């Protein structure tokens, strides 16, 4: 694995993308977590958020590679195969020898909604209505494109520690066998 790896976690709001990304990053030596929501959190927002996001992610990865990092976990929602394909094309240009893996996180609607409610309890602003509407729209869009074009399906109903072991196993890795150079 001397060339590194880029793991893309795709999925709707509140499904656990950030939690899983952080847990993965902690188990992979020389890894950077890039949260798409933070990359595009600007006011006012860019005219084409997805184009901006995909370009900035590739620039950030290129920058971090120049500082010795080899592995990356990216989390966000890419709503269409075209959006995700654009990101993958940009990443192949700046990291042509890195292993590129994309997972579409799945979870029952009931559990997804429960996680959103728990998350709302820790926030200063009540965005429950917005988040409930958004998650329903996003789940619908992702289901429509879930024929493998938005990532390999990955059930996130277990605890983060179990998910990391399962995902690393799916990638034929363990945190111990990852290249540390």
How confident is the model over 120-141, as pLDDT tens digits?
777 777 888 899 999 999 999 8
- The larger pLDDT score, comparing residue 173 to residue 104, is at 104
Number of other residues whose CB lies within 10 A of the CB of residue 38: 11
Cβ atoms of 152 and 103 within 8 Å: the answer is yes
Per-residue pLDDT of 63-116, as tens digits, reads 999 999 999 999 999 999 999 999 999 999 999 999 999 999 999 999 999 999
Q: What is the pLDDT of residue 181?
A: 45
pTM: 0.91
User: What's the pLDDT tens digit per position in 18-49?
Assistant: 999 999 999 999 999 999 999 998 888 889 99
| Closest by Cα among 86, 95, 132 to 113 | 132
Q: Which domains can be identified in the chain, with CATH numbers?
A: 5-169 (3.40.50.300)
Q: ω into residue 44 within 30 of 0, thus cis?
A: yes
Distances (CA, A) of 9 to 18, 68, 122, 130, 148: 9, 22, 23, 22, 13
- Token pair, residue 113, equals 């909604």
pLDDT band at 178 (very low <50, low <70, confident <90, very high): low
Task: Extract the tokens encoding 18.
Answer: 């950030």
Alpha helices per DSSP H over 6-156: 17-27, 36-39, 49-66, 81-94, 109-120, 128-144
């Amino acid at each position: 694995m001397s060339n590194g790896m880029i793991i893309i976690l795709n999925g709707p709001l509140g499904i656990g993308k950030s939690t899983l990304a952080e847990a993965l990053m902690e188990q992979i030596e020389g890894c950077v977590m890039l949260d798409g929501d933070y990359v595009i959190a600007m006011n006012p927002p860019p005219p084409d958020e997805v184009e901006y996001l995909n370009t900035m992610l590739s620039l950030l990865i290129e920058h971090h590679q120049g500082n010795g990092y080899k592995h990356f976990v990216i989390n966000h929602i890419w709503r269409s195969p075209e959006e995700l394909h654009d990101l993958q094309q940009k990443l192949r240009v700046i990291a042509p020898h890195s292993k590129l893996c994309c997972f579409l996180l799945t979870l029952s609607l009931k559990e997804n909604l429960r996680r959103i409610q728990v998350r709302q309890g820790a926030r200063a602003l009540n965005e429950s209505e917005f988040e409930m509407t958004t998650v329903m729209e996003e789940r619908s869009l992702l289901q429509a494109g879930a024929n493998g074009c938005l990532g390999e399906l990955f059930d996130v109903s277990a605890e983060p520690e179990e998910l990391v072991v399962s995902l690393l196993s799916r990638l034929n890795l363990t945190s111990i066998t990852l290249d540390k150079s």
